[in-house]
Amino acid sequence: MKDLIVFYSLEGNTAYAAERIKSRTGADTLRLVPKKAYHDKGFAKFFWGGKSAVMAETPALEDYQLNLAEYDRIIFGFPVWASNYTPPLRTFIRDNAEALKGKRFAAFACQSGAGAEKALAKLAKSLEIDAFEATAVFIDPKAKPAPDKEAQIDAFCSALLS
């Protein structure tokens, strides 16, 4: 089975988790990059990111090369914005809707506050699935590293590999 981690990361926490998961599982990665960058500091970060997530925007993404037919499972990773998954994932799902049909899915969310469970449920609904094969919620794994956070990543990887 071949896995692909599709993720968006604003501050590096999701990218950190994606790389750790890649190193433990051998999955490939695809980092989604919006053509227009989101604010990453202060009030503007929360306001514009939250608005974009709540309004279900689909930002234009930088081009990427990908053949989804090569992958059995897609693992989505994202920071939580206003109890939602991030808009770049929404664009990816819209643009690849046909190729995603019949795939298996897992997901992880990174957050500083709350809302990951709601965001994961919204992502599952967008993918038209009842549940993910595995999910995880990581609290600032790069910004605030700790042994228990690495153990959470290990547990998620174990679930993916079983």
Mean pLDDT of 69-97: 95
Q: pTM, whole model, 2 decimals?
A: 0.92
Predicted local confidence at residue 53, as pLDDT: 67
Quick one: pLDDT band at residue 82, thresholds 50, 70, 90? Answer: confident
Predicted local confidence at residue 43, as pLDDT: 53
**Residue 153 in contact with residue 141, Cβ under 8 Å?**
yes
Please give the single-letter amino acid code of residue 160.
Answer: L
Give pLDDT tens digits for 37-56: 765 766 555 555 555 666 66
**Residue 72 in contact with residue 1, Cβ under 8 Å?**
yes
Place of tokens 């819209």: 94
Q: Which domains does the chain have, with CATH numbers?
A: 3-161 (3.40.50.360)
Structure tokens at 39: 């604010």
> What whole-number percentage of the chain has pLDDT above 90?
76
